[in-house]
Amino acid sequence: MASRNRRSRLGSSQVDLAGISPGVILLVMIALINYIFLIEGRPRDRFTISPVERVVFSFGSVVLAAHKGYSRPFLPDLVLPMIPIFETKRLTLRPVTLEDAPATQRLFPQWEIVRFLGHNIPWPYPEDGALQFYRDVALPAMERGEQWLWAIRLKEGPSHLVGCIALNGVRDNNRGFWVGLPWQGQGIMQEACEAVTDFWFNGLGRDKLRVAKAVGNIASRRITEKEGSRLVAIEDRVLRMGPTKAEIWEMTKEEWNARRHGPADLPLRMSA
C-alpha cells in the first residue's frame, strides 16, 4: 500500500509538458539564449549557433512536440529569424523560403547562368529542381547555421525574386550568386554583394572572404574587382560547363572596412 501511495505521489508530481504554453516556452528559450550570450561575453550580432544553444533548442523541440498539432522542429524557428533582411536603394534581400521555388524554377535553368556554377548542379535541370534544392539542401543548411541564402527582389519590379545570393563556409568559395537573364547588366548583383559582404565581415565576424570565378565569367569577375578583392590563385576546377581554370579572389575584413571607411550602415531588420 505504501509503495502504491509513493508511486501515486510521484506520478502526480510529473510535469505535464503538453500543458505548457508555446508562448511561455518561446520566452524561456529567448531568456536562456540571452543569458548564454551574457555569460560568454558575446554580442548578439553574431549570427551563429553554439553547441549550448543547440541543446536549449533541442529541449524546446521536445517540449513543443508534446503539444498536439505542433510538430515543427524548434531550431529553425529561432535560427532562421536570425538571418537579416537587407534593404538597399533598389533591392530587398530576404531569406529564401519554399515559396521562392516556382520563380527560381522559371528563371534559374538557363545555360548562360548554370554553366559557370558547380558541377553538382544537375543538367538538364529537373522539373522540381528548385524545390528539391531549397527543401533538401539550402534550408537545412540555413537552419544549421552553415549557409545564408537570400532571395533578391526589386522594390520596383515583379513580386517574385529575380535572383539569389548566398554566403557559406566552403573553402575558397564563400559567396555565390545568380540573377535572371532579364535583369542582368543592371548592377543588381553589385548592390546585393555590398549588403551580404558587409554582413560576412561585420555581422558574422569573418576575417577573410574568398570567391572562385571561372576565367570566362567576366561579368562576375568585374563585381569582385570593383569590391577591391585581390587575385591570389588560379586553379583547375570542374564546373557545370566542364573542366576549366578558376580564379581565386580574396579580401580581408580590414581591406573591406578601409575601403568603406568603416562598417557599413545598411538598413536591415530581422526576418519574421
What domains lie within the chain, and their CATH numbers? Answer: 2-80 (no CATH), 83-270 (3.40.630.30)
pLDDT digits (tens), the chain, 272 positions: 544 444 444 444 444 545 556 666 666 666 666 666 555 554 444 344 455 555 555 555 555 555 544 444 444 444 454 789 999 999 999 999 999 999 999 999 999 999 999 999 999 999 999 999 999 999 999 988 899 999 999 999 899 999 999 999 999 999 999 999 999 999 999 999 999 999 999 999 999 999 999 999 999 999 999 999 999 999 999 999 999 999 999 999 999 999 875 444 455 554 43
**DSSP3 helix / strand / coil % (the chain, rounded to 5):** 45, 20, 35
Phi, psi of 54, rounded to the nearest 5 degrees: -65, -35
Which residues, other chains included, contact 99 with Cβ-Cβ below 8 Å and sequence gap of 6+? none
The residues that bridge with 233 in the sheet, in sequence order, are 248
Which residues, other chains included, contact 135 with Cβ-Cβ below 8 Å and sequence gap of 6+? 98, 101
Q: What pTM value is reported for the model?
A: 0.71
**Amino acid letter, residue 225:** E
Cell of 16: 505535464
Residues in the chain: 272
Residue-level pLDDT at 107? 98
Residue-level pLDDT at 144? 87
Alpha carbons 154 and 160: distance in angstroms, whole number: 9
Is the Cβ–Cβ distance between 153 and 162 less than 8 Å? yes
Which residues, other chains included, contact 199 with Cβ-Cβ below 8 Å and sequence gap of 6+? 84, 86, 148, 167, 268
Alpha-helix runs per DSSP H in the chain? 2-12, 22-40, 51-65, 74-79, 101-107, 111-114, 129-133, 139-143, 188-198, 218-227, 253-259
Residue-level pLDDT at 56? 57
Is the Cβ–Cβ distance between 80 and 73 less than 8 Å? no
Residue-level pLDDT at 72? 46
Query: Residue 23: exposed, middle, or buried by beta-carbon count in 10 A (0-12, 13-18, 19+)?
Result: exposed
Residue-level pLDDT at 7? 43
Residue-level pLDDT at 61? 54
Alpha carbons 77 and 92: distance in angstroms, whole number: 22
Any idea which residue has 545598411 for its cell? 266
139-170: string of b/e by CB count within 10 Å (b at 16+)? Answer: bebbbebebbbbbbbbeeeeebbbbbbbbeee
223-245: string of b/e by CB count within 10 Å (b at 16+)? Answer: bbeebebeeeeeeebebbbeebe
Conformation bin of residue 114: beta by default, left when phi > 0, alpha when psi is -120 to 50: alpha
